[in-house]
Amino acid sequence: MSRPQFSKDYRTYGEWLKAIPRISRYAKEIIRKHQYFPDKSLNDLRHLRIGMHDLSKVAWQLLSSQEKRDRNLSLQVLRAMRKGATLTQATEKVGVDKRFALKHLGTHLQKSGGRWHVARTDNFQSEMMFYDRDDGLISIVTTRSKDRSLIAEYFNAINKALKDGNPDHLKRFENAKVIDAEGKEHFFVTDLERLYEIQDAQEEPEFFELYV
């Protein structure tokens, strides 16, 4: 079954795109919407509200339980693509499709030169476990990829420090901090004895996936 004509003057989206330089704000919005809905006509795209189909900017606390799980999956796609995977490879690995990635990664996923690319950094809100200097093991909502990466590196350093009893693995985090979605500062635990105490206080050891 063939697609309906794209617009009154252009049979396909490709013809519309190539007719003139599409550099206006209006044209860029149509291009973006077409990425979400490649089967829709120009008239349909004009009236679509893309905000209803892009969850990337929604605050963590406003997401449903399923949407939080979906965001974590989308961050796995993001991480795979930053390591060199194509969008197809990344979505197949995670078990989702392109439309899912578009919905949850939003403008952090862009197409150029016939290939999908992801931004080097992002400001996604995501919940992560954190060893806080004052509060022990807590969960915080991070707001940028830099903090997610730092926390992931910190947990790797903790594993090494606890394994060989060497606190030197934690030195680089002594004055480091992250700021959560509410603007609160959190400092890392770098005292090895304190880390042992926190772990011993846990009734059951937990496994935490880190989405950098």
196 pLDDT above the threshold of 80: yes
pLDDT(191) > 50: yes
Q: Are 65 and 127 in contact (CB under 8 A)?
A: no
In sequence order, the β-bridge partners of residue 10 are none
pTM, 2 dp: 0.71
Give residue 112's pLDDT: 85
State the SS3 of 5-71: CCCCCCCCHHHHHHHCCCCCHHHHHHHHHHHHCCCCCHHHHHHCCHHHHCCCCCCHHHCCHHHHHHH
Other CB atoms within a 10 A radius of the CB of residue 158 amount to: 21
pLDDT in tens, 53-93: 678 888 898 888 998 999 999 999 999 999 999 999 999 99
Instruction: Compute the average pLDDT of residues 98-122.
Output: 89
What integer pLDDT is reported at residue 211 of this predicted model?
A: 53
Which of residues 16 and 37 earns the better pLDDT score?
A: 16
Burial class of residue 148, CB neighbours in 10 A (0-12, 13-18, 19+): buried
pLDDT score of 2: 60
Res. 204 pLDDT band, cuts 50 70 90: low
Per-residue pLDDT at 13 exceeds 60: yes
How much of the chain, in percent, has pLDDT values that exceed 70? 91
Task: Indicate the class that CATH gives domain 60-118.
Answer: mainly alpha
Which residue spans of the chain are classified as CATH 1.10.10? 60-118
Cβ 39 vs Cβ 48: under 8 Å: no
* Cα gap 51→58, rounded to integer Å: 10
Which helix or strand (DSSP H or E) is residue 179 part of? strand 177-179
Cα–Cα distances in angstroms (integers) from residue 3 to residues 33, 40, 167, 183, in the given order: 17, 9, 63, 49
120: DSSP letter: S
Q: Residue length, the chain? A: 212
Over the chain, what is the mean pLDDT?
A: 88
Confirm if 181 and 147 have CB atoms less than 8 A apart.
no
For residue range 137-153, what is the model confidence (pLDDT) as tens digits? 999 999 999 999 999 99
Task: With a cut of 70, say whether residue 49 has pLDDT above it.
Answer: no
